[in-house]
Amino acid sequence: MESLGRHLLAEFSGCDAGALADLDGVTAAMLEAADRSGATIVTHSFHHFGGGGGVSGVVIIAESHFALHTWPEHGFAAVDFFTCGDKVRTGVALEILAKAFRAGAIEQAEVARGPLDVRAARVLPAAAE
């Protein structure tokens, strides 16, 4: 492992608006994605923004977190999978969410977080006093 963790950013487009606005469905899909990916669920919290709005939420896992925000009016969901270690299979989680949201397309990018190579570490300037 060359970093403390990895942060997978996923964008689901062409999704079913009803699926993205369904608090219970989104919550169930995120919990299933975390569980079936091999993550250890600690707790979770989700909120539905009324009036046809979307859902925002997070699943706290022992390996870090899964977070999401949905925009039903745009058929779009943004999901972050931040994991430490090599146990969690984020590909499994992506498949579960794509099916639950009836996504037309998924784009993803991965970022290594906390490089362990000391030479790669960056020092930030001290705050002005």
Active site residue ranges: 64, 69, 84
Q: What are the C-alpha distances in Å from 80 to residues 11, 40, 85, 109?
A: 9, 16, 16, 10
Bridge partners, 3 (sequence order): 115
CA angle 40, 41, 43 (to 5 degrees): 155
What burial class does residue 70 get, using C-beta atoms within 10 Å of its C-beta: 0-12 exposed, 13-18 middle, 19+ buried? buried
